[in-house]
């Protein structure tokens, strides 16, 4: 009868008296989460809600990225490559979701965005401490970025901690060295506060992995996973650039950057350079 009425009957075992119980909403703190969207345009513009939620959800994914990257580094440091690769596999899936999100924001037309952009003041994604922390965790460190967060002690502490700890690549190369790969001492002992820069002396060690994958299968798999991660990050950066260009053209960013031109230069940055350099030498 219920199916004919287009209605699904509740099963007897379903809990409907939720007094004094943990609920879906209380566990996820949905009252707080869903009340955190406060458009500032006056009169309030319909599309500002899209803009806010797009960036808030990105920040949630960034939080999970940091959580997984921190665990992956800890696991590598304790010689647990298998579990570390499980974390990286999850990171790659998160990256896929984050990249797809740009297609939602791309539905915001230049005319629609222009009607509330002025209300944003100097707020900008450039100021995202979690994004900077992810970049630091992957190797694109920049000490000057710390000053951006000098007025916010918690954010400064988060970014400073990432600035001072080894990157994902540092931990992988240390693991590879403990496995007997000839990783140069200058890389193993490098100042991890510096941005990672290419080392030609490392390429032979990476080539050894690729030329004999059966002997080094787990390291070979790890190298390919890291390449996937960097490719995904570059796709995300590219989609960011194209969404910005589609929406504001070549205008300057709200945070004072040159906008699209500034984002374009980010595509020149790399996390794991030797994993790409080695491809030139294989089979040649």
Q: Which two tokens stand for residue 63?
A: 């939080």
How many CA atoms lie less than 13 Å away from 173 in the CB half-sphere? 30
Which regions in the chain score pLDDT beneath 70? 1-3, 284
Query: Tell me, what's the pLDDT at 274?
Result: 98
Give the C-alpha separation, 54 to 35, whole Å.
15
Give the C-alpha separation, 115 to 43, whole Å.
10
- Are 184 and 255 contacting, i.e. CB atoms less than 8 angstroms apart? no
Query: Tell me, what's the pLDDT at 160?
Result: 98
Question: Which residues 6+ apart lie within 8 Å of 242 measured at CB?
Answer: 102, 106
Query: Tell me, what's the pLDDT at 262?
Result: 81
Query: Tell me, what's the pLDDT at 267?
Result: 84
Question: Which residues 6+ apart lie within 8 Å of 82 measured at CB?
Answer: 218
Query: Tell me, what's the pLDDT at 2?
Result: 61
- Are 245 and 258 contacting, i.e. CB atoms less than 8 angstroms apart? no
Query: Tell me, what's the pLDDT at 284?
Result: 63
**CB neighbours of residue 57 within 10 Å:** 14
- Counting residues of the chain whose pLDDT is more than 90, the rounded percentage is 82
Give the C-alpha separation, 98 to 110, whole Å.
22
Mean pLDDT over all residues of the chain? Answer: 94
User: How far is CA 130 from each of CA 112, 115, 122, 155, 161, rounded to the nearest angstrom?
Assistant: 28, 28, 18, 8, 12
């Amino acid at each position: 009868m219920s199916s004919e009425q287009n209605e699904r009957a509740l099963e007897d075992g379903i809990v409907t008296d939720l007094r004094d119980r943990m609920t879906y909403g209380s566990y996820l703190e949905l009252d707080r989460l869903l009340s955190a969207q406060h458009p500032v345009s006056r009169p309030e513009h319909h599309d500002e809600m899209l803009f806010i939620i797009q960036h808030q959800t990105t920040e949630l994914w960034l939080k999970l990225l940091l959580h997984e990257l921190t665990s992956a580094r800890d696991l590598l440091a304790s010689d647990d490559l298998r579990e570390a690769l499980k974390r990286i596999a999850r990171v790659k899936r998160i990256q896929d979701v984050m990249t797809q999100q740009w297609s939602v924001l791309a539905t915001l037309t230049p005319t629609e965005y222009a009607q509330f952009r002025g209300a944003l003041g100097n707020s900008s994604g450039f100021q995202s401490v979690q994004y900077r922390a992810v970049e630091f965790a992957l190797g694109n460190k920049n000490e000057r970025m710390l000053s951006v967060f000098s007025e916010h002690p918690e954010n400064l502490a988060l970014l400073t901690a990432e600035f001072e700890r080894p990157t994902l690549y540092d931990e992988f190369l240390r693991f590879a060295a403990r496995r007997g790969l000839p990783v140069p001492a200058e890389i193993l002992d490098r100042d991890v506060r510096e941005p990672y820069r290419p080392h030609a002396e490392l390429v032979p060690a990476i080539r050894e992995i690729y030329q004999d994958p059966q002997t080094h299968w787990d390291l070979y798999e790890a190298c390919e996973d890291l390449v996937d991660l960097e490719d995904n990050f570059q796709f995300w950066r590219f989609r960011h650039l194209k969404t910005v260009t589609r929406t504001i053209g070549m205008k300057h960013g709200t945070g004072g950057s040159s906008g699209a031109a500034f984002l374009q230069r980010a595509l020149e940055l790399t996390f794991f350079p030797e994993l790409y350099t080695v491809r030139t030498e294989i089979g040649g």
